[in-house]
Amino acid sequence: MKSAVFVLFFLAAFADAFVMTNKQKLAISSSRTPLEPMQGFFGDQERESLTRDNEPEEFFATNTDKMSDEEKIPIAIAGIVGITVPFIAGLIALYAAKY
């Protein structure tokens, strides 16, 4: 009984921690004033965004894209081995645990 009263008192004492005061409400409402659009200096146009259409093809190419297919084969084999070896090792461990 005493513990239930203590818990209720504890909850009631700290429940107001989640209630916003007038100062907090005022601070939030005053910080959300709409901003005016920023004007560029001297009428210069802003640079266009970077897209695949307005940049050279090699700009978006990764190092792997620049490699030939023969150079990519070891990477592919390492990926396949890295995925399959843990499963094969797990099957061997399960089979060995049977006997």
- Cβ contact 35:29 at 8 Å: no
pLDDT, position 97:
94
- pLDDT tens digit sequence for 54-91: 777 666 778 888 889 899 999 999 999 999 999 999 99
Contact 64, 75 (CB under 8 A): yes
pLDDT for the residue numbered 45: 61
Of the pLDDT bands very low, low, confident and very high (cuts 50, 70, 90), residue 33 is: low
pLDDT attached to residue 9: 76
* pLDDT higher than threshold 60 for residue 16: yes
CA-to-CA dists, residue 92 to 77, 79, 87, 99, angstroms: 22, 21, 9, 11
